[in-house]
């Protein structure tokens, strides 16, 4: 049994947990970062980093390394039913980069993790946490390290366990499982026609949802699908994400791209949580960051950016908590208010749009209109990239432009 007491114990060393660990260690706290696996480890993902994600990675001092190891993306190709297409360059938004980067999570998460360790966080791998309980001096965390029982005390905990709900349930933070997006991806080498653009398809998959081709080099791509099983998908009754993936790569365009390609590993599926607008953001003695708080773009399934941003926000909040010595329930409510202030409006808007794009005719109409109207294109790009003020872009004028095509 461990007897050392830490200021903060962080459960989950993905982008959410490792960024929190980095910022807290920089602020001078003693931080224990825990994960059930050892690092490096892979995570099923599309491997796309938005400008928002790149901004936090720059703040952590690792953007250069990520640019070096990753693949630069300058634009997005959208493919709708009835052969409608739209190309959008990544727009410049304030000081954010005007490009994306793709980098397999095996490498990305290791770079973020190493930066947290470099800043001073202690890592304990192979450690599966099963419960967090409030005690008078803070929190007691229990679980198993390589099958041996383990107990750790800390003043506060961070839960950064991603889409895995077990710890949230056993710690009574979540009672009912939220509806999740179902997703699957596979890497292919020797893919035809890759460029410095990502491709998103609203064709050949259940809606709302999309299929993607994210190049991670000039010849290798991450190909995948994600769909919301409670929209029109209910009527399709696809067996599972793997089946949807297999149907998607039968599309003519995909067949051409993958004609000479070779799969590099089996198809891997994983769910995505995106219920932030109604999700709890804390439990007794513990703050939630990243996907554990449902912080994934409800339209696109991108969550690395919000995991990094919430990690930074949580660390800043904890710094004030310790300065004030206020560990009361009000302080946890203040963290919830902080996250809502940053993300609630955007997430409500993105959830509403997801409900709209179940109609293939509407998507085709929108892409057709956006082809000729630069303002609409810009609005669409900002929405897809989850830019903060995307919610302000939709006006009666834009709706009229979509309907009239001018």
Ligand X SMILES: Cc1cc2nc3c(=O)[nH]c(=O)nc-3n(C[C@H](O)[C@H](O)[C@H](O)COP(=O)(O)OP(=O)(O)OC[C@H]3O[C@@H](n4cnc5c(N)ncnc54)[C@H](O)[C@@H]3O)c2cc1C
Decide whether 46 or 204 has the Cβ nearer to ligand X.
Answer: 46
Q: Where are the alpha helices (DSSP H) in 3-61?
A: 15-26, 51-59
Decide whether 10 or 376 has the Cβ nearer to ligand X.
Answer: 10
Decide whether 139 or 373 has the Cβ nearer to ligand X.
Answer: 139
- The CA distance from 43 to 347, in Å, is 24
- The CA distance from 122 to 124, in Å, is 7
User: E strand or H helix at 224, and its extent?
Assistant: strand 221-227
Decide whether 170 or 371 has the Cβ nearer to ligand X.
Answer: 170
Task: Please report how close the Cβ of residue 292 comes to ligand X at its closest, in angstroms.
Answer: 6
- The CA distance from 358 to 232, in Å, is 6
Task: Please report how close the Cβ of residue 246 comes to ligand X at its closest, in angstroms.
Answer: 15
The pairing of strands 100-102 and 71-73 is antiparallel
- The CA distance from 249 to 187, in Å, is 12
Task: Please report how close the Cβ of residue 181 comes to ligand X at its closest, in angstroms.
Answer: 8
CA distances to 3, 141, 285, 319, 327 from 136, in Å? 16, 13, 10, 20, 11
Decide whether 79 or 187 has the Cβ nearer to ligand X.
Answer: 187
Task: Please answer whether residues 7 and 120 qualify as being in contact, where contact means their C-beta atoms are separated by less than 8 angstroms.
Answer: no
Decide whether 199 or 291 has the Cβ nearer to ligand X.
Answer: 291
DSSP E strands, 74-179: 75-80, 84-89, 100-102, 122-124, 127-135, 138-145, 148-159
Decide whether 7 or 291 has the Cβ nearer to ligand X.
Answer: 291
Decide whether 18 or 321 has the Cβ nearer to ligand X.
Answer: 18
Task: Please report how close the Cβ of residue 187 comes to ligand X at its closest, in angstroms.
Answer: 12
Task: Please report how close the Cβ of residue 133 comes to ligand X at its closest, in angstroms.
Answer: 14
Residues that bind ligand X (CB under 6 A): 11-17, 34-37, 43-48, 128-129, 160-162, 164, 166-167, 183, 185, 224, 270, 272, 290-292, 296, 301-305, 307
Task: Please report how close the Cβ of residue 321 comes to ligand X at its closest, in angstroms.
Answer: 21
Task: Please report how close the Cβ of residue 395 comes to ligand X at its closest, in angstroms.
Answer: 28
Task: Please answer whether residues 213 and 199 qualify as being in contact, where contact means their C-beta atoms are separated by less than 8 angstroms.
Answer: yes
The count of other CB atoms within 10 Å of the CB of residue 140 is: 17
DSSP E strands, 170-215: 180-189, 197-201, 209-215
12 phi/psi in degrees, rounded to 5: 105, 120
Task: Please report how close the Cβ of residue 82 comes to ligand X at its closest, in angstroms.
Answer: 26
387 phi/psi in degrees, rounded to 5: -65, 145
């Amino acid at each position: 049994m461990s007897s050392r007491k830490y200021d903060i114990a962080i459960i989950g060393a993905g982008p959410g947990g490792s960024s929190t660990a980095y910022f807290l260690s920089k602020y001078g706290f003693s931080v224990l970062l825990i994960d059930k696996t050892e690092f490096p480890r892979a995570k099923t993902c599309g491997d796309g980093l938005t400008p928002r994600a790149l901004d936090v990675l720059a703040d952590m001092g690792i953007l250069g390394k990520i640019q070096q190891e990753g693949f630069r993306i300058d634009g997005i190709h959208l493919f709708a039913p009835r052969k409608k297409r739209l190309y959008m360059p990544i727009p410049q938004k304030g000081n954010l980069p005007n490009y994306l980067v793709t980098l397999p999570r095996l490498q990305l998460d290791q770079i973020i993790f190493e930066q947290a360790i470099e800043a001073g966080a202690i890592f304990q791998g192979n450690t599966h946490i099963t419960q967090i309980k409030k005690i008078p001096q803070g929190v007691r965390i229990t679980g198993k390290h390589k099958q041996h029982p383990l107990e750790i005390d800390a003043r506060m905990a961070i839960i950064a366990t991603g889409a895995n709900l077990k710890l949230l349930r056993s710690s009574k933070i979540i009672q009912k499982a939220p509806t999740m997006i179902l997703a699957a991806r596979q890497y292919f080498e020797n893919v035809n026609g890759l460029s410095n653009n990502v491709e998103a398809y609203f064709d050949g998959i259940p809606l709302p949802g999309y299929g993607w081709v994210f190049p991670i080099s000039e010849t290798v791509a991450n190909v995948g699908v994600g769909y919301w099983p409670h929209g029109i998908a209910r009527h399709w009754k696809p067996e599972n994400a793997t089946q949807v993936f297999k149907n998607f790569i039968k599309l003519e365009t995909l067949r051409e791209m993958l004609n000479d390609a070779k799969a590099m590993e089996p198809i891997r599926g994983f769910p995505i949580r995106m219920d932030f607008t109604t999700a709890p953001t804390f439990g007794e003695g513990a703050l939630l960051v990243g996907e554990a708080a449902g912080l994934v773009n409800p339209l696109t399934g991108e969550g690395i950016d919000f995991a990094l941003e919430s990690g930074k926000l949580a660390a800043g909040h904890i710094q004030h908590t310790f300065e004030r010595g206020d560990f009361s329930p009000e302080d946890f409510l203040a963290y919830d208010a902080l996250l809502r202030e940053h993300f609630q409006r955007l997430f409500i808007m993105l959830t509403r749009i997801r409900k709209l794009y179940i109609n293939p005719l509407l998507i085709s109409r929108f892409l057709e209109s956006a082809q000729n109207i630069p303002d609409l294109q810009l609005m669409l790009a900002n929405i897809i990239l989850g830019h903060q003020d995307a919610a302000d872009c939709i006006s009666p004028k834009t709706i009229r432009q979509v309907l009239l095509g001018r």
